Copies of this chain bind each other. A is one copy, B any other.
């Protein structure tokens, strides 16, 4: 079946199954090789990249919808996502399916709810859905060079801003770094998310003041320089900081 026929067939099912006008778009960031990536699909139709989003079933809680969508579209399960914004400008989605007539489910106005998460890409085995040619982790540095559908570039940017704001008052790194890591590895993670270089002394002082690290009795061997100290996260303090924020009054 060609890609347009499949969309048409799915549209008829969609009218029965889904709420009109409402969609959800998950922005899953990955941290890998000291860079940030985002999980994208390339649909057969129009060959543009887009977030692995979808619709909400008539009889389904919103949070369940996002989990189901991720599983069905890219094979990703067991991720914890946070809402970060709703995108509701008129005409944000209406023109994407321009080759179809107005009866297509996908062609109506959609207000979309943005979710984001940050994971180590190694956790997942990706499986693209039938509608898509591929799903891939795309480096953020590559985004300027690719075509993104609808307002998905804006949605990704907004998710990134939210992540940046979040690390000013919540810790980050658990589930992303290996169990034992050096302070310079942790600093690299912060630099990548913030998109800027940090002063090493300031970073070390601030991160130690959070009280979320345990210094281990070992150091990283094998380098030409003095072996750097290894740290691990203090799970209890980390979770407490995650819940209460870092800057309590």
Contact = CB atoms under 8 A, between A and B. Distances in A.
A192 to B, nearest CB: 12
Interface string A36-74: 000000000000000000001011111101000000000
B109 A19 contact: yes
A90 B245 contact: no
A63 B88 contact: yes
Given A21-B22, A169-B165, A198 B62 contact: no
Nearest to A89: B61
Contact of A245 (B89, B168, B206, B248): B168
Ranked 5 nearest A-B pairs via Cβ: A62-B88, A169-B169, A168-B245, A168-B247, A19-B21
A90 B20 contact: no
A249 B61 CA distance: 37
Contact of A249 (B86, B168, B245): B168
Given A168-B247, A198-B249, 18 more contacts: A19-B21, A19-B111, A21-B21, A21-B22, A22-B22, A58-B109, A61-B90, A62-B87, A83-B86, A167-B249, A168-B249, A169-B169, A169-B245, A194-B249, A203-B249, A206-B249, A246-B247, A247-B247
A85 B88 contact: no
B169 A168 contact: yes
Most chain B beta-carbon contacts within 10 A, residue among A62, A88, A198, A246: A88
